[in-house]
A and B are shown apart, each in its own frame.
Chain A
Amino acid sequence: MRRQITWLVGQLAATLALASVLVFLVLRVLPGDSAVVALGVNATPEALAAWRAQHGTDRPLITQYGDWVGGLLRGDFGRSFVTGNDLTPLVLDRVQVTLILVGLGLVIALAIAIPLGTLAAVKHRTAWGSVIAGASQLGVAVPNFLVAVLLVAFVSVRAGWLPAGGWVPPAVSMAEFWRHVTLPAIALGTVQGAIITRYVRSAVIEVMREDFLRTARAAGHTRASALVRHGLRNAGIPIVTVVGVQVAAMLVGAVVVERVFVVPGLGSLLVDSVQQRDLQAVQSIVLVLVALVVVGNFLVDLLYTVLDPRLRTAGR
């Protein structure tokens, strides 16, 4: 078990290191001179030289990369190329908002997917099963920003039940926080719920054909109790896998949903930084998002070993 965790941590560190090289390469090496990107092709040589000296881009690339990664390891995200402000408090503030949104979205997605997927599997030869399968197929095709736009149109503007945008931190007012976070979380969670429903359905149907479930029934369990006590745990591994993948999708999906609901998360900051061509901000934000994706996958790998004891001894 310990050996396996060490291996997983090593993989995590190697992926992050390679990702940081890739991000630096794409954002700082391939586009050419960052000063020209920031000031435009018509800037005077003096202005370009001053900009390079101010932001340290006149140093060798390897030094710049080392400084950036060293700073990240110390929790320093660098300074914006556009405003010159320290990015660290901004990124830390925004990442909390995004994590809250994604966390609530995931809860909604699972609250939809696990009961509906299980029901669709148990009833998969009936009309109910077909209706749920069809609805989830349709849900997969609807982008989360369309759900977001429709929620604003019907729940906020027409019905006036909840605000159409904005953000109130829970520390300021818990009631207002819930009023503001509900629609973005639903927009993010429902589409992922539709996707995960399909996986839960497949996994449960697969498990329902297993011998151990028949044995459990023969030992006196009802179908529901056999499914809950033995089936869902065994269906857990494929479900955990897809949840891991979908958390990555939700982090990216949050970029768009935050835009619709004017939520000050990491996604909004990323889009603003891209539009301002603030490459220093973009590279730090992207690496934070990639780190969240990779850590999510790492946690999924750890969960495997909890769910399936056979994997604990597999070793490498």
Chain B
Amino acid sequence: MSAVVRGPSALVPEAAAVGPRRRTPGVHLQLVVGAALVLLVVAVAVASFFWTPYDPVRAQPAVRLQPPGAQHWFGTDRFGRDVLSQVMVGARLTLYVGVVAVGIAAVVGVPVGIVAGMRRGVPGALLMRGSDVLLAFPGLLLAIILGAAFGTGTTTAMIALGIGAVPAFARVARSGTLQVMQTDYVLAARAANRSAWAIAWRHVLPNIAGMIVVQCSVHFGLAVLAEAALSFLGLGTAPPTPSWGRMLQESQQFLGVHDNLALAPGIAIAIAVLGFNLLGDGLRDVLDPRLKSVR
């Protein structure tokens, strides 16, 4: 997945392409819907710390493979575990993986991009060629390689997905930095003999923060997809920790008979990814200065 490279939102300035937009004054629909879906996932994850209908990992053979009903809203799996409770706890893992992977990508990629943008010439070129080579490894493939080398698991997956997203963050930070470095206020700061560090911290970073936030949202969605894919392949989070991807994988043997086992985690993944994608698109419209100027 970039990660598997799936996010068109990451590359296409869709908002810019549609020209003058019909917009509801004060309300951005994508932003609102995206934020609402993300909030739903966050709320479910937080709630799962305090309450779930049943213990998500406790097997209850007496109620195995129950269809959705009053007792078990989303039904039960082959061990009699409550699917709703597993989906709730799975939201935690999804957010945890997303936060760590995106955090690694931003913490490494943004400084690399800023340095590459400020120090043009050999250092900048070297940094960007390095990120080009990494681009040849889609995030999911990188996660599989690191899983082979160091053993599979949540930690390996998070680190690999984070490293896989570094080039994307570096590229965005570099292109933003190149723009900021052309501005009059940076020229003034350089004339005032400000250090490169001060210019980066006080002028570049605040001005590219909007783009970085957009990248974070888009890559969060990609990380959710990639983690689900890894768990689906059996290369992600190990049982019994509930994971949406593994729930989907385990549902395969009951397809056509107990489709609720596939639909519950599948819809949860789609809601989370859709939420972060829409939020990213909405934030881009609101925050990205490059596109403001285009519009």
Q: Which residues of B are found within 8 Å of A256, using beta-carbon distances?
A: 229, 232-233
Residue contact A141 to B221, C-beta cutoff 8 Å: yes
Q: Which residues of A are found within 8 Å of B140, using beta-carbon distances?
A: 252, 255
Inter-chain CA distance A206–B11, complex, in Å, is 15
Q: Which residues of A are found within 8 Å of B133, using beta-carbon distances?
A: 15, 18-19, 22
A240 contacts B by Cβ under 8 Å? no
Residues B126-156 near A (CB distance < 8 A): 132-133, 136-138, 140-141, 144-150, 152
Inter-chain CA distance A251–B11, complex, in Å, is 19
Nearest neighbor of A158 in chain B, beta-carbon distance: B256
**16 A-B pairs in the complex with CB atoms less than 8 angstroms apart:** A26-B149, A27-B148, A27-B149, A140-B274, A141-B270, A145-B232, A149-B266, A152-B252, A154-B256, A156-B255, A252-B140, A270-B144, A274-B148, A274-B235, A286-B141, A286-B144
Residue contact B2 to A141, C-beta cutoff 8 Å: no
The 4 closest A-B pairs by CB, nearest first: A157-B256, A141-B274, A202-B17, A153-B255
Q: Which residues of A are found within 8 Å of B2, using beta-carbon distances?
A: 248-249
Q: Identify B136's interface contact among A150, A152, A274, A294, CB under 8 A.
A: A294
B192 contacts A by Cβ under 8 Å? no
Inter-chain CA distance A138–B5, complex, in Å, is 16
Taking A23-B145, A153-B255 as contacts, is the C-beta distance between A252 and B270 under 8 angstroms?
no
Residue tally, chain A, CB below 8 Å to B: 65
A226 contacts B by Cβ under 8 Å? no
Taking A31-B149, A205-B18, A279-B149 as contacts, is the C-beta distance between A253 and B248 under 8 angstroms?
no
Taking A31-B149, A202-B14, A255-B233 as contacts, is the C-beta distance between A153 and B141 under 8 angstroms?
no
A36 contacts B by Cβ under 8 Å? no
> Per-residue CB proximity of B207-234 to A under 8 Å, as 1/0?
0000000000000010001001100111
Residue contact B144 to A271, C-beta cutoff 8 Å: yes
Residue contact B228 to A143, C-beta cutoff 8 Å: yes
Total A-B pairs, Cβ < 8 A: 170
Residue contact A206 to B248, C-beta cutoff 8 Å: no
Inter-chain CA distance A154–B263, complex, in Å, is 12
Q: A31-B150, A154-B256, A253-B1 are in contact. List 7 more A-B contacts (CB 8 A).
A: A142-B273, A149-B248, A149-B262, A150-B262, A191-B6, A279-B149, A286-B141
Residue contact B145 to A143, C-beta cutoff 8 Å: no
Taking A146-B269, A245-B11 as contacts, is the C-beta distance between A255 and B144 under 8 angstroms?
yes
> Per-residue CB proximity of A226-261 to B under 8 Å, as 1/0?
000000000000100010011011011101100110
Q: Identify A149's interface contact among B12, B17, B251, CB under 8 A.
A: B251
Q: Which residues of A are found within 8 Å of B146, using beta-carbon distances?
A: 26
Taking A249-B6, A277-B148, A282-B145 as contacts, is the C-beta distance between A15 and B132 under 8 angstroms?
yes
B200 contacts A by Cβ under 8 Å? no
A209 contacts B by Cβ under 8 Å? yes
A273 contacts B by Cβ under 8 Å? yes
Residue contact B225 to A143, C-beta cutoff 8 Å: yes
B277 contacts A by Cβ under 8 Å? yes
What is the minimal beta-carbon distance from B229 to any residue of chain A, in angstroms?
5
Interface centre among B1, B17, B251, B262 (most CB of A within 10 A): B17
Inter-chain CA distance A157–B149, complex, in Å, is 38
What is the minimal beta-carbon distance from B196 to any residue of chain A, in angstroms?
29
Nearest neighbor of A207 in chain B, beta-carbon distance: B17
> Per-residue CB proximity of A124-141 to B under 8 Å, as 1/0?
110000000000011011
Interface centre among A156, A209, A249, A259 (most CB of B within 10 A): A249
Nearest neighbor of B262 in chain A, beta-carbon distance: A149
Q: Identify A137's interface contact among B6, B257, B274, CB under 8 A.
A: B274
Nearest neighbor of A21 in chain B, beta-carbon distance: B133
